Structure 1
Amino acid sequence: MKPGCSNGTRTSAPRFSFLTLTNFYRRETCSKRPSNAGLKRQKICSFGTSLLNMQLTDTFLHNIRNSFGAQGERWLVDLPDLLNKAARRWDLSLGEPFLLSYNYVCAATRSDGTQVVLKIGVPNREILSEMTALRLFDGQGACRLLEADDQNYTFLLERLDPGQMLTSLDDDEARTGIACQVMTRLWRPAPPELPFIPLSSWFAELNKLRPGHGGGTGPFPCWLVERVEALLPDLLHPSNPQMLIHGDFHHFNVLNSERSACGWLAIDPKGVVGPPAYEVGPLLINPWDDLLKSGDPVRITERRLAILSEHLGFTPAHLRDWGLCHCLLSAWWDMDESGRGGEYPLACAEMLAKAGV
């Protein structure tokens, strides 16, 4: 019995339990429903406009404080000034924010009437890598970077039209085929001098998992941890092709656009360098509500793996392995200090393990 495999926990994949996913869905939809009581408002001045209400939800405030600590607190204090600087610099009228997570993102209008998107982030390597990736993509496969203030981690983006997410399509096979077209337009060699995020640095975080749980796996399934530990040395071997990839490629980060030949473009790239097959990881476990409601997520996953394999040239088993690794990494990121969180990616790992490939 290996460390952390208490009570004879097996190392083979357990049976997929759809109830696990269903319970997660019920809890998430009940606990994350927005309410007016959860909004905090403050006034900011927007150059060329009247005063406008900036809505900062409790979730956004928690994300910033929890992820960035004192730096995040200072950034929240400075945010109105950063918005005003951007409005003056690029002659913008600022609109309402979109659904906020870890960056402030809002609609804006240029003096000539062009609709754009303004994005401001807490200074960190991911926001810098995103700006750098968008410059290199230069509108090929992704929205265009129109302006950037690197010093203040502020940038102006093309607003995609019509701008509906890939989730707006009902046909999952069609969605998967479109995803393949978009992601492969992004992949390219990464100039070594540019500040992109190595994929290996993300997975290096998993080296803390066993030491943090007395040599065991804690709340993470032993079979999954052992499987990923066995897979990663080969998957991340330096001899494997290294490409610039999106890094967070899923249905909510692909929008329809009249500018694109295939009709769709990506947004919010992380700007990651690593084996391109990792790109399917976030895609395979999204959109989570569709998988939950489908009644047969394993069958959907098997069909997705077949389509991805046909378009991308990797075996279904290889793509499935990357999906499993991403599930553990996602659960590691999601889990809080009390050991709660991460249920959904862990349930998806069971689903992937059941896929016949």
Structure 2
Amino acid sequence: MIPAAFAEQTIAREGAPGRTWIEQLPGLTEHHLGRWRCTPTGPAVHGQVALIVPAVRDGEAVVLKLSFPHPGNRFESTALCVWSGVGAVRLLERDDADFALLLERVSGQTLSSATEDPWTVAGGLARRLAVPAPAGIPRLTSTLPGWSRQLLA
């Protein structure tokens, strides 16, 4: 079941393409759960641009993440491959055409709930994630001017 608030937000933000994607989302969800031999274990949740379905596969707790096909999401799977579970969630399967990821399930702990100093934790994560980007990934320097214009607008 697609959460109503997620469907409404997606359609409001993306218009007709968002509506089409939301209409296709139940089928995409079933397809990828079956393809990757996953059994759902709870209701779907969501962020701003993705549906997250908790599941289990071969006894391992996983999540299926289906993102709206947006240029900002295009390189997420590549980045997760490069990080290889070091400082980021581990990517188990990917379907770049459908913006579908099968990920290890991690705890809901955030920096605000960390027992260590949050700045120390964030600094450690930043060091682990600071790896050379593979060829073909847009550089932050090419992205920042657009972000600056959006923020100023």
Would you call these one fold, judging by a TM-score over 0.5?
yes
- Measure the CA separation in 2 of the matches of 1:153 and 1:163: 23
The C-alpha deviation readout for 1:256-296, integer Å capped at 9, x for no partner, is: xxxxxxxxxxxxxxxxxxxxxxxxxxxxxxxxxxxxxxxxx
Where do 1:1-357 residues align within 5 Å?
A: 54-58=1-5, 60-94=6-40, 95-110=42-57, 112-160=58-106, 162-169=107-114, 174-193=117-136, 195-196=137-138, 198-207=140-149, 329=151
Give 3-state SS (helix, strand or coil) of 1:63's partner. helix
User: Using the alignment, how far apart are the partners of 1:205 and 1:159 within structure 2?
Assistant: 31
Q: Partners in 2 of 1:126 and 1:85 — Cα distance?
A: 24
Q: Distance in 1 between matches of 2:65 and 2:141?
A: 24
Cα distance in 1 for residues equivalent to 2:114 and 2:91: 26
Give the TM-score normalised by the residue count of structure 1.
0.39
- Map of 1:290 onto structure 2: none
| Structure 1 residue runs of 4 or more that deviate by more than 4 Å after TM superposition | none
Instruction: Check the 8 A contact 1:140/1:185 in 2, yes or no.
Output: yes
Whole-angstrom distance in 2 between the partners of 1:141 and 1:65: 33
* 1:105 CA displacement: 0.9
Give the fraction of aligned pairs with identical amino acids, expressed as a percent.
33
- Asked if structure 2 preserves the Cα contact closer than 8 Å seen for 1:129 and 1:197, the reply is no
1:150 Cα deviation from its structure 2 partner: 1.3
| Unmatched runs of 5 consecutive residues or more in structure 1 | 1-53, 209-328, 333-357
Q: For 1:13-66, what per-residue CA distance to the aligned partner results, in whole angstroms no more than 9, with x for missing partners? A: xxxxxxxxxxxxxxxxxxxxxxxxxxxxxxxxxxxxxxxxx24132x2343123
Aligned positions, number: 152
